[in-house]
Amino acid sequence: MKYSYNIIFFILILIFIIYYSFLKNKNIKNGFQNYYNIKWSDDLLKRFNIYQFTVNKNANQFDLDILQKQASPEEAEELIRTGYWPWPEDLKNLYIEKIWSSPIIKIDPKIALEYAMKIYNQNAIREILAWNTKEGQFLLYGADLGVSDGMPKNVHNTLKCSTDINGKSIMEKKVYSGMNLWNGYMNYNTSIIAPEDIPKEMSGFSFVNGPCNPCVALETESITKDNFSCPFKLNVKGDDSISVPWKQLWSL
């Protein structure tokens, strides 16, 4: 089935919109890694490369080291056999809902789904969907804590995931205190917020199973199930429900 160039162009724009906020954070790598740590066989790697340069015409570049952590050999075999990564039905439905909710582009969801399944394995697309939820946006970009007395209205204090000197994820609070007359920059103080104090600092934040470090989800050097062991809720406009992608990652 051949699609017009306009449809393909719109699909590419949509993929970019969904993926954009994820790419903006340089500390996040491409894809939640699975927990199997099963290396693909040399024969499978060879056949995957052949698939890339023939059927796929090398249209999409894959990092095979990352890809082997994201997708099982069985998934790769299905891609080679059918041209599509296998997605479970719940994931297909989530993706279609994302297409429908886009305020910018409205295209045939079946076309968009088929296109995405040619490119993204299920772990990669779950990550894209997860980072574009309220929980993902909070982890990537933090929370607005408002403006200190006497400060300009556009200078907002923040609560945001960061790293300490050892590279471990922490929750950091930044509070602006005034203008530096020597260099013209704003003075600010930072402090590490203990997990149990996060709900005190941020209205609408609560833990599901008790205090823990939500920022562990951003630690990508050695991903394990511990990265998804700190479920939390965000009450946004009266809605404190947990987004489906994070329910799945947190096994709720």
Separation between Cα atoms, residue 134 and residue 239, nearest integer Å:
11
The sign of the CA dihedral 108, 111, 113, 115 is negative
Query: What are 27-55's pLDDT values in tens digits?
Result: 333 334 444 567 899 999 999 999 988 88
Query: What are 161-211's pLDDT values in tens digits?
Result: 999 888 889 999 999 987 776 766 888 999 999 999 999 999 999 999 999
Q: If you average pLDDT over residues 51-80, what whole number do you get? A: 85
With H, G, I as helix, E, B as strand and everything else as coil, classify residue 39: coil
Count of beta carbons in the 10 Å neighbourhood of residue 4: 8
Q: Is the pLDDT of residue 3 over 50?
A: no
